[in-house]
Structure 1
């Protein structure tokens, strides 16, 4: 584990799931404390609080202020109908990947990305106590994606499929801003690429126009602080591994 990853684990492991609404938090603490929560309580996320989060997040930066995004938030019966639609699709004969010409990731994956992905998966299943040999148990856990891991709110990010790769990057900045604004208010999140595999089903469900597509989703709610999986803290590459410093006077 890198020095950076160790610092994050030591400083934020307890804070990430024990913040309370109204507690003042700095930007750096929010960045280090935010983590993907994969077990939520049944506590509702009130519409007013969600609107506060999204009202701040809409100020995320975008090139030329294009704001290349839309969002669809679902709760209650609307959330349940999304879950049912995806469950029906998965139970049908045509349950293949619907990511289309925008796959979640390339296949096969090369280094160093393959090792990083493998490591976080093994760490997660280690927290769950599920060995590699128990593939059915791993698949059952992954199926929780389709139920937002129990979160009361699902948030979907929509983009115009005719936009370029730059606009996809800008959409990512919106997602990060949503997650940080949520963390500031004691709300947990999990960004879910899983929903890209159900794009056609979601497009029909939400009656999207042909030029729009779902990028991915996000689960929002309150973390189950008793769930071992929520203690997972993913590693990060060291700063010197990902950044070259040129032209600076050596310290």
Structure 2
């Protein structure tokens, strides 16, 4: 390789790094979307890229249900009917716990910080439980995104496959970001798995992992200005030689 070729190769590498790093660092949880449609071909391209996520022995444990139009609206209506009924919602819970109970530190403080930052942007006061409940319910409307996804996994699979699933979901978010789209990965669908199961006609073997909203972020909405804090590398990385 000549000196010129080496220089061009270094420029290409720098461009690739900038593009990938930029998509990762720009990704955020979008909580309000424009009604602008997303072509099916774009969704298929995102999933085609995301399927390259690593998985133990190439198991590829993911199953995706892509919802638009009436299919998405119908599921959201059924979910909101349960969510908005204080008596009915008490009968629903995660099949596998997602969060710790009780919450220990430092994770409790991080959770609270994010929550109050979001509510602050929306003008929701600490004592306004009804507005908090309403905001949480917007998860089930896919935050008005034109595309909603529901992810399931076989209940025969173990922890390793759940870890692999995270890489797949991350790939979807990054591939969408690279295409100028926003996403929100949502645990809120999992507790209402019985409603999801009935609407999507899931098999008994399938467990609901989460939902995901996909579309064009609404730049006018204050919740989309939220940037969650990330700890510096020194907090979570222990380098040893």
Q: Can you list the C-alpha shifts for 1:108-131, whole angstroms capped at 9, x where unaligned?
A: 110111011011111111111212
Tell me which residue corresponds to 2:88.
94
Report the counterpart of residue 229 of structure 1 in structure 2: 223
Q: What's 2:7 paired with?
A: none
Q: Distance in 2 between matches of 1:113 and 1:171?
A: 22
**Which of 124, 137, 151 matches 2:118?**
124
1:191 to 2:162 alignment: no
Quick check: 2:63–2:153 contact (8 Å CA) kept in 1? yes
| C-alpha deviation, 1:86, in angstroms | 1.1
> Where does residue 79 of structure 1 map in the other structure?
72
**Alignment of 1:58 onto 2:51:** yes
- SS at 2:90 equivalent: coil
1:174 pairs with one of 168, 173, 188: 168
Output the CA distance in 1 between the equivalents of 2:91 and 2:29. 23
For 2:10, the equivalent position in structure 1 comes to none
Q: Report the secondary structure of 2:89's partner residue.
A: coil
Residues 72, 156 of structure 1: 8 Å contact kept:
yes
Q: Helix, strand or coil for the counterpart of 1:94?
A: helix
SS at match of 2:111: helix
1:97, distance to aligned residue in structure 2 (A): 5.4
Contact 2:146 2:214 in 1 (8 A): yes
**1:91 and 1:65, CA in 2 relative to 1: closer, same or farther beyond 3 A?**
same
Q: 1:98 touches 1:196 (CA, 8 Å); kept in 2?
A: no
> Of 34, 42, 61, which residue of structure 2 is paired with 1:49?
42
Counterpart CA distance in 2 for 1:75 and 1:34 is: 23
Give matches, 1:97-116, under 5 Å.
98-116=92-110
Q: Is residue 2:33 matched to residue 1:37?
A: no
TM-score normalised by length of structure 2: 0.89
Preserved contact between residue 25 and residue 184 of structure 1 (Cα < 8 Å): no
Greater radius of gyration (CA): 2
DSSP-derived class of the 1:170 partner: helix
1:16 aligned partner = none
> In angstroms, what is the RMSD of aligned CA positions?
1.5
> Conserved in 2, the CA contact under 8 Å of 1:97 and 1:198?
no
The change in CA–CA distance for 1:25 and 1:184 in structure 2 (over 3 A counts) is: farther
Cα deviation, residue 166, structure 1 = 1.0
User: 1 CA distance for matches of 2:227 and 2:185?
Assistant: 15
Q: Is the 1:151–1:220 contact (alpha carbons within 8 Å) kept by the matching residues of 2?
A: yes
Unpaired runs of 5+ in structure 1? 1-23
Which moved further from structure 2: 130-139 or 186-195?
130-139
TM-score of the superposition, structure 1-length normalised?
0.85
Higher helix share: 2
**Which secondary structure does the structure 1 equivalent of 2:220 belong to?**
coil
